[in-house]
Amino acid sequence: MAASAEDIDIVVVDPQEPDPEAIRRAAEVIKQGGLVVLPTDTVYGLACDPSQPAAVDRIYRVKGRRRDLPLALLLHDMAQVTAQVEEVPDAAVRAMQHFWPGPLTVVLRDRSPATAAVRAGRDTIGLRLPAHVVPRLVAYAVASPLAGTSANRSGQPAPATPEQAICQLRGRAQLLLDGGPAPGGRESTVVSFATDPPQLLREGALSADRLREVLGEVRAN
């Protein structure tokens, strides 16, 4: 089922069993350099192809986001981690085993030219495996992780519903997959494993206390 709201096409999808045609359509928009709004297990996200610098630049402009703030990569499965980075510390492996799929963004060292557009000049990359089938299927259909960030204008609340995303991004993205309210409603927790002990960069849906139960010492930002 498709609709339109001021130049953004809206496709309603079942969040458990999305129509393959909707997934294919989202993947095509992304492959062509467009932006797609989609549900995740935390909030609604804005996604593009990280290998296309023009598409990544478009996300920054659409959000009004500072260029020194990196984007994360949304993965299809855990096997994609080693395709993105060479070194994964034991603490990061432990975190991924306990909290993925889920609301944890794992920050690892990375200097690959392939991720330069989303790293914002840093030598690290954020990776997340969402506990939501829609972004994972889209990433699979694109055959690449998705460059992702919350689907809001910078400084505004992250959208937990498609209506909130449309309100902020109408006319700025090509397609929205409407899977109903995002089940988490809060952004992911971000932890850097580029330091020892790991450093909490942002507390979100996953609490610092829960992280420390699994990882032991985690430094506050």
> How does pLDDT run along the chain (221 residues), one tens digit per residue?
455 455 799 999 999 999 999 999 999 999 999 999 999 999 999 999 999 999 999 999 999 999 999 999 999 999 999 888 988 999 999 999 999 999 999 999 998 888 999 999 999 999 999 999 999 999 999 999 999 999 999 999 999 999 999 999 888 999 999 999 999 989 999 999 999 999 999 999 999 999 999 999 999 97
Domain count of the fold of the chain: 1
Residues 6+ apart with CB under 8 A from 12: 1, 2, 3, 178, 179
Give the range of the structural domain holding residue 47, as residue numbers without chain letter.
2-215
Rounded to two decimals, the pTM is 0.94
Q: Is residue 146 part of a domain?
A: yes
Q: Is residue 220 part of a domain?
A: no
* Rounded distance between C-alpha atoms, residue 16 and residue 149, angstroms: 22
**Res 6: pLDDT:** 56
Q: Is residue 38 part of a domain?
A: yes
Q: Is residue 126 part of a domain?
A: yes
- CATH code of the domain in which 66 resides: 3.90.870.10
Q: Is residue 91 part of a domain?
A: yes
* Rounded distance between C-alpha atoms, residue 57 and residue 117, angstroms: 8
**Res 164: pLDDT:** 96
Alpha helices in the chain (DSSP H): 20-31, 53-63, 81-84, 90-99, 116-119, 133-142, 162-169, 208-215
Q: Is residue 33 part of a domain?
A: yes
Closest CA relative to residue 185, chosen from 10, 44, 36: 44
The single-letter code of the amino acid at 82 is T
Q: Is residue 221 part of a domain?
A: no
Residue 9 phi, psi dihedral angles, 5° rounding:
-75, 140
**Res 1: pLDDT:** 47
Closest CA relative to residue 100, chosen from 82, 134, 127, 135: 127
Q: Is residue 199 part of a domain?
A: yes
The single-letter code of the amino acid at 84 is Q
